[in-house]
Structure 1
Amino acid sequence: MLKINRENLKSSHQLIWFIIDFLMLGLLIINLAFIIWDSTYSFVVIQNALKEHLPAFQAAYHPIHENFILYDAMFVAVFLSEFFVRWGYAIRAKVYDRWYFYPFIHWYDVVGCIPVGSLRFLRILRVISIVYRLHQYKIIDVTSTGIYRFVNFYYEAFMEELSDRIVAKVLSGIQHEIKLGSPLFEHIQNDILYPRRDMLSGWISKRVAEAAQEGYVPNRGALRSYLEDRVDHALKQNVELSRLKYLPVVGSTIKETLEDAVGDIVANVIQQILEDLASSSNHAFIEDIVNAFIRGPGEPETNEDRNEALIALIIEVIDAIKGQVRVKRWREQLP
């Protein structure tokens, strides 16, 4: 139900114009209903039905139908009078930069007053403009009405479906061009990614360090024990190393010493790698990897040496975007 905010209406400095808006809105609704009814009455079937069932009403209305233009002209005279009053106010208040801008900006008011059947229905645009103006000044709240929610829902659904199809089509075309090695790939690589190599290196370095700190540092002891167990198991399965125990006197000692030494070396190496990744010292390592993926504009690149990994990365990113585009948000609002 459409409600009028009386407080905003009373406190408004344009109270007179809003009252005129309400009056014009009422006249427009009556006039449009009159136009629709008279258009319906034009059919002979309707006239014959009224003659048969409501002869008195048909006899009374038929002269009005024959002089419809005259009665419609009365409404037009009121609409034009209000139009010229607002135009004069716009000139006096200097609402627009030029005095003759008003009729061009409010063209629907002028065209709707032309007494031609197809143009009369353009008066609905004037109804929409008045309702929008009242809503803009918070005199009424259109969004609270069921009609608005119904129309807005299907409008948003239509626009989402249309835009999703367009975006998906464009992204598929971009993927196809990238696979063919079009200048778009070189543009992405040389003009977008290459100038931002330092930024990408810093971001990836930070993310790797955070991941290593969160995943490794709290589990350092458990990881070391796991690595030592795995190395010890692998060494016991090694045939050549198992033969050392057959050496006289020192065989078993040498075998156990080697197992402990190798396990400790592997665990220390892995631990050092993870500690390096968890610190800021990983930046140089990450930067080398990024530089290997992203070539500079001046660096030669043969067909065999094309950066296929980067192409695959871009295509997968576009696939992820297309997957998100395919999500129908409007369906989530359905009961």
Structure 2
Amino acid sequence: MLRINRENLKSSHQLIWFVIDFVMLGLLIVNLTFIIWDSIYNFIAVQNLLRDYVPALQSAYHPIHERFIFYDILFVAVFLAEFVVRWAYSIKAKIYDRWYFYPFIHWYDLVGCIPVGSLRFLRILRVISIIYRLHQYKIIDFTDTRLFRFVNFYYDAFMEELSDRIVLKVLSGVQEEVRKGSPLFDRIQHDILFPRREMLSDWLSGRVAMAAREGYVPNRGALRAYLENRVDQALKQNHELSRLKYLPVVGPTIQDTLENAVGDIVANVVHQVLEDLASTTNHAFIEDIVNVFLPDRGHAPSEPEENEALIRLILEIVDAIKAQVKVKRWREELP
């Protein structure tokens, strides 16, 4: 329901103008209702229908219909008077840079005052401007009305559907250009990805370090036990190593010592690798990997397989973007 904020209305320094806005809003609603009714009454079938069922109404309104222009001009005279007063006030208050800017900015007020045909319905723009002005000054809040929520919901749904189709069409065009080997592929590779190698290295280094810290450090003991167990099983299945147990006296001891040593070495190597990845020392390693995928312009990959791999990567990225674009947010708001 539309409510009037009386506190903001009383505390406003433009109370007189807001009162005029409310008066003009009421006159505009009456005038537009009058115009719509007269347009309906203009049909002979409607006149005959009223003559048959409501003759008193027909006989009372018919003289008004014949002098419709005169009555409409009375409304127009009030609208023009209000327009001139506001224009004079804008000149006095220096609201605009030039005195003649007001009629150009508020052109719909003037055009709507022309009492000819469909131009009269442009007065609805004046209604919208008044409501918007009152809403802007927080005198009324039409966003809390059911009508606004209904219209706004379907407007957002329409705009989302329209924009999604446009974006999908553009992305599909980009994919087609990349498949054909257009200059777009070289621009993505040399002008977009290559200059940002350092940024990509920093980002990947940070992500790898975070993944190693969160995934490895809390499970260090379990991972070490798993590695030692797997190495122990692998060594027991090794035929050459199993022959050591046949050595007299020291054979079983050498076999156990070797198994423990290999397991410990593997666990320590993996531990050190993951520790390095979890620290900032992984940056040089990640940077080398990025440089392999994004070499200098003079050493760009010329192998078809390498180009094809990069093309597939770009296409998959675009596919992921298209899949996200296809998500209908407005449907999530449906009850």
| TM-score of Structure 1 vs Structure 2, range by shorter chain | over 0.9
C-alpha distance in structure 2 between counterparts of 1:298 and 1:76, whole Å: 75
C-alpha distance in structure 2 between counterparts of 1:22 and 1:218, whole Å: 68
1:200, distance to aligned residue in structure 2 (A)? 1.6
Determine if contact 1:189/1:295 at 8 Å carries over to the other structure: no
1:162, distance to aligned residue in structure 2 (A)? 0.6
Determine if contact 1:2/1:145 at 8 Å carries over to the other structure: yes
C-alpha distance in structure 1 between counterparts of 2:203 and 2:54, whole Å: 82
C-alpha distance in structure 2 between counterparts of 1:64 and 1:303, whole Å: 86
SS in 1 for 2:98: coil
C-alpha distance in structure 2 between counterparts of 1:159 and 1:173, whole Å: 21
**Structure 1 residues not aligned, in runs of 5+:** none
C-alpha distance in structure 1 between counterparts of 2:320 and 2:263, whole Å: 42
What does residue 28 of structure 1 align with?
28
TM norm structure 2: 0.94
Determine if contact 2:178/2:185 at 8 Å carries over to the other structure: yes
Deviates more, 1:139-148 or 1:128-137: 139-148
1:255 aligns with 2:255: yes
SS in 2 for 1:181: coil
Deviates more, 1:119-128 or 1:95-104: 95-104
1:230, distance to aligned residue in structure 2 (A)? 0.3
What does residue 272 of structure 2 align with?
272
What does residue 57 of structure 1 align with?
57
What does residue 142 of structure 1 align with?
142
The count of aligned residue pairs is 335
State how 1:181-200 maps to structure 2 within 5 Å.
Answer: 181-200=181-200
What does residue 171 of structure 1 align with?
171
State how 1:305-316 maps to structure 2 within 5 Å.
Answer: 306-316=306-316
1:303, distance to aligned residue in structure 2 (A)? 4.3
What does residue 117 of structure 1 align with?
117
What does residue 16 of structure 1 align with?
16
C-alpha distance in structure 1 between counterparts of 2:287 and 2:307, whole Å: 17
C-alpha distance in structure 1 between counterparts of 2:187 and 2:172, whole Å: 18
Task: State the Cα RMSD in Å.
Answer: 1.7
What does residue 70 of structure 1 align with?
70
Determine if contact 2:212/2:274 at 8 Å carries over to the other structure: yes
How much identity, in percent, do the aligned residues show? 75
1:287, distance to aligned residue in structure 2 (A)? 0.5
1:151, distance to aligned residue in structure 2 (A)? 0.8
What does residue 37 of structure 1 align with?
37
Deviates more, 1:78-87 or 1:125-134: 78-87
SS in 2 for 1:97: coil
Determine if contact 1:293/1:309 at 8 Å carries over to the other structure: no
Q: Which amino acid in 1 is paired with 2:139?
A: I
Deviates more, 1:257-266 or 1:99-108: 257-266
Note closer, same or farther for the CA distance 1:307–1:288 as it changes in structure 2 (3 Å cut).
farther
**Structure 2 residues not aligned, in runs of 5+:** none
1:276, distance to aligned residue in structure 2 (A)? 1.3
Deviations 1:255-305 (A, max 9, x none): 333323322222222112111111221111010011111223332431425
1:231, distance to aligned residue in structure 2 (A)? 0.9
What does residue 81 of structure 1 align with?
81
What does residue 240 of structure 2 align with?
240
What does residue 331 of structure 1 align with?
331
Q: Which amino acid in 1 is paired with 2:279?
A: S
What does residue 284 of structure 2 align with?
284
TM norm structure 1: 0.94
Determine if contact 1:168/1:325 at 8 Å carries over to the other structure: yes
Deviates more, 1:207-216 or 1:316-325: 316-325
What does residue 92 of structure 1 align with?
92
C-alpha distance in structure 2 between counterparts of 1:329 and 1:101, whole Å: 42
1:248, distance to aligned residue in structure 2 (A)? 4.8
